[in-house]
A and B are shown apart, each in its own frame.
Chain A
C-alpha cells in the first residue's frame, strides 16, 4: 500500500517536472525569438563589408554614336540606384577602341550629383583596348547627394574610322553611398552595367560616284567627299543604277505606273499628283541626320543648353521605334537667333527608309512632329515624307531647326511628377516657384531654365507662356 502511494507521488512529481521542463523550453524559445528578431534587425550594422544597396552604371547615349574623324564624342556615365541609396562615390573603368582618344582634362565628375569636379583619372591598356579608371567622391551632406544621376562626363576625340564599343568593367567598378544605418558599411553593389557602341566615319575620305539631282537630270560621275548629301541629290556606285534611278512612277493614275522590281516609288500620290521618283530599296540600318533647335535657346547663350537628351521616335507605315537619351551636338549655325543642334542617329531596329516621320522631345519640351525638309510649322498630316539611306554620308540632313521645340513641359500633374507632354498651369506654377536669379554652373541641366542660360528668371516664365499659347492655339 505504502509502495503504491510512493509510486503515485513519484509519478506526479515526474509529470510536474516534465511540465516545468516544457514550460521552460517554451519560454526559452520565445526569448530566442525576440533575441533573434533583434539581432536580425541589427544585422546590417554587424555584417562588415556587406552592401546596403544596389546600383547600375550606364553609359550614355545608349544609342550607337555616329561621328566623323575629328569630331568630339561626348559620353556620360550615369548611376541609377535601387532602394533610394544616395551615392557619394563612384569608381569605374571604361574601355574603348583605338578609334577614340581621351585626355585627362576631358574627364569631369558631375558637380550636380555632388562630386568634386576634379576626379582621379588613370589610363591603362587592357588586351589591346584603352581603358580609363575614374574615381569621383563627395564630401557633401546626404541631402545634396542623389540616388540617380551623372557621375562622369567624358569628351573623346574621334581619331580614325571604324567602329567599337565603350564598355564599363563591372568587376572593377565600386560605388559607395550614404548609409544611414552604418558608418562603416557604405558599399552599394554594382548589379549591372549598360554600355554603348560607336561608329566613326571617315570624313575627308572621298569616293567617285554617279549622280543626278533636281537640276541635273543626266547620269555623270564626280568625286564626293565628306558629308556631301543635300536634298534632291541621288548618288549611285554604277551608271546602270543611276539610270534606273531616273525612272519615274505614279501609283495614283489608272493604270498605275510602279517602279521596277527592287525599287520603291518615293513620292507618288503626293498632293500635287505628280510623278514620283524610283529609288532602290535599302537593306541596311537607316540613318537619320537631323538639325533641331530648342525654343528660345539663343545662339551664343547656351551655357546650360548642352547635352540636353532627346527622345526620338521614328514612324513609317505603322512601324515605330523609340530612341532615348539621344544627345545632339551644338553647332555654330543659327536659325534666326536660335542655336542649331545636329546629330546622326543610327535607327537600329527600324527598317523603313521612306515616308518616315520623326517625333522629337527635349527634356523640358513638348514632343514635336517633323516630317518634311525645312519644316517651319506644324505638320498636320498623317505619316511623313522623310527618305533615309543606310549611310550617314548619303542620308539627307533634315533641317527642322526652323520649327523649334516648344519649352515648358517641366513637370506632370503635380510638381513631383515627370513631364507629361503638356504645358499647363502646373508647369507655370512650378517654374514660377523656383528660386530666381541664381547663376548655375555652366553645363548643368537646370530645372526650369527653359532658355538654357544657366539662370532662372522672368524670361523662362515668358518662354513658358509663349509655348502654352502656341500649343493651345494648335490644339483648339
Chain B
C-alpha cells in the first residue's frame, strides 16, 4: 500500500514539474489545428467540342470574380489562335505560345463588384482555332491557372475536364 501511494506522489510531482517547465519557458501547449477546410471546387472548367473547341466555366456556388489567369496546355495539335467569347471582358493579355504549347489569357475585371456568377451558371470563355484534320490531341486547363475571388483576393479551387480527342480507326 505504501509503495502504491509513493508512486502516485512521484507521478503527481513529475506532472507538476513538467507543467511548470512548459509554462515558465513560454512553451505553448499544442494548439488545436484548425480543421481542414472542406471545400468543393468553386468553379468547373469543361469543353464543348464543336468545329472548334469552346472552353466553358461553371460556378458551383454564388461567387464574384476579380481575375482569371488562364493557362491552357495543349499537345498533338496546332492552335492558331484563341477568341474571347464575350461572356468575360476582353482579356488584358492573350497569347498562343507555340514555343511552350500554352494559351495564356489574363482576365482582369475592373468593375468594383467583380464578375458575379450564380450557382449553376455556365459561361463560354473562349474558343480555340485549331489546325483542321488533326484527330489525336489533348487540351487541358493548366494547374497554373488562377481564379481570384472579388473582395478577398483568394484563389478559388477549380476542377477541369481535359479535352481529349482520339481517332477511332
Contacts and interface: CB of A to CB of B under 8 A. Distances in A.
Interface of A: 19, 22, 25-26, 29-30, 32-33, 36-37, 40-41, 43, 411, 413-415, 424-426, 428-430, 432-433, 461, 465, 468-469, 472-473, 476
A428 B148 CA distance: 9
In this complex, the interface size class of chain B, counting residues with CB under 8 Å from chain A, is: 35 or more
B19 A425 contact: no
Interface of B: 1, 5, 8-9, 12-13, 15-16, 19-20, 23-24, 66-69, 92-93, 95, 97, 99-100, 102, 104, 106-108, 110, 112, 146-155
A295 B126 CA distance: 32
B104 A476 contact: yes
A359 B112 CA distance: 36
Main SS at interface, chain A: helix
B24 A425 contact: no
Given A33-B16, A429-B66, A468 B92 contact: yes
A25 B8 CA distance: 11
13 contacts: A29-B9, A37-B23, A40-B20, A41-B23, A425-B66, A425-B67, A426-B67, A428-B108, A429-B66, A432-B66, A432-B112, A465-B108, A472-B106
Contacts of B150: 429, 433
A426 B95 contact: no
B153 A19 contact: no
B51 to A, nearest CB: 26
Contact of A424 (B23, B106, B112): B106
A133 B157 CA distance: 53
Contacts of A432: 66, 110, 112
Given A19-B1, A26-B9, A433 B153 contact: yes
B153 A36 contact: no
Contacts of A433: 66, 150-151, 153
Given A29-B9, A476-B102, 19 more contacts: A26-B12, A29-B16, A33-B16, A37-B19, A37-B20, A40-B20, A40-B24, A411-B153, A426-B155, A429-B150, A433-B66, A433-B150, A461-B110, A469-B106, A472-B93, A472-B104, A473-B93, A476-B97, A476-B99
A468 B68 CA distance: 13
B9 A414 contact: no
Contacts of A40: 20, 23-24
Contact of B146 (A29, A32, A426, A461): A426
